[in-house]
Amino acid sequence: EPEVTQTPSHQVTQMGQEVILRCVPISNHLYFYWYRQILGQKVEFLVSFYNNEISEKSEIFDDQFSVERPDGSNFTLKIRSTKLEDSAMYFCASSAAGVYEQYFGPGTRLTVT
Amino acid sequence: GENVEQHPSTLSVQEGDSAVIKCTYSDSASNYFPWYKQELGKGPQLIIDIRSNVGEKKDQRIAVTLNKTAKHFSLHITETQPEDSAVYFCAALTGGFKTIFGAGTRLFVKA
């Protein structure tokens, strides 16, 4: 069964450093998403992406964040200058055209020290 | 802004009993309501969903009901098993692409 994959599984970085989180969505999906989950809290929407453009973003997704689909398979989330409060699980998700169902990857745990 | 409230935060049931988790949403334009199961160290897994033009949907031991007038929707798990133990999240799709999650319910099924 096709699945969303994410790398790395765990990323440790120092405050102020840039990080790039990588995702490979399901191959025939056209809509891509990033979410975050601070430990013990709810899953929060960050951004959706379609046709090489951001479709919608939350207030969390400020100028420090950017997304990119650099090639036909990868979808990345970049945080330019990490803060302690960026420590969280980051989940990538994807969905096919014309359907609502989103399929989530296993997540990347980001720890900012 | 958009919000999804979920109750209870913790639910403990005996194996074989039923479990019910309830959610309310604030945005009357929401049109899609998925439920996710999250096991420790894993991403949310879609287990069932319902669209706003349907009142009830069932898949084996899992059912979801939606009351659009009251802006309530609920997850029902019957004949619970220990492997049902996990955190369950309700969610609502508002606008085109933004999914708002509830705070989650930690379900314990005691053998």
pLDDT by residue for chain A (113 residues), tens only, comes to: 789 999 999 999 999 999 999 999 999 899 999 999 999 889 999 999 999 999 999 999 999 999 999 887 899 999 999 999 999 999 999 999 888 899 999 999 999 99
Cβ within 8 Å, pair B49-A55: no
What's the gap between Cα B9 and its chain centre?
Answer: 12
Sheet holding A5-7, edge to edge: A5-7, A19-24, A75-79, A65-68
B97: nearest CB among A41, A56, A103:
A56
SS percent in chain A: helix, strand, coil, step 5: 5, 50, 45
Q: Report pLDDT for B2.
A: 81
- Summarised one tens digit per residue, pLDDT across range B11-66 is 999 999 999 999 999 998 899 999 999 998 889 999 999 998 889 999 999 999 99
What residues of A are in contact with residue B44 (Cβ under 8 Å)? 43, 91, 104
Q: CB contact, 8 Å: A32 with chain B?
A: no
Kindly report the nearest CA distance between residue A32 and chain B, in angstroms: 10
B1, pLDDT greater than 80: no
Cβ within 8 Å, pair A107-B98: no
B107, pLDDT greater than 90: yes
Whose tokens are 């055209």? That residue is A97
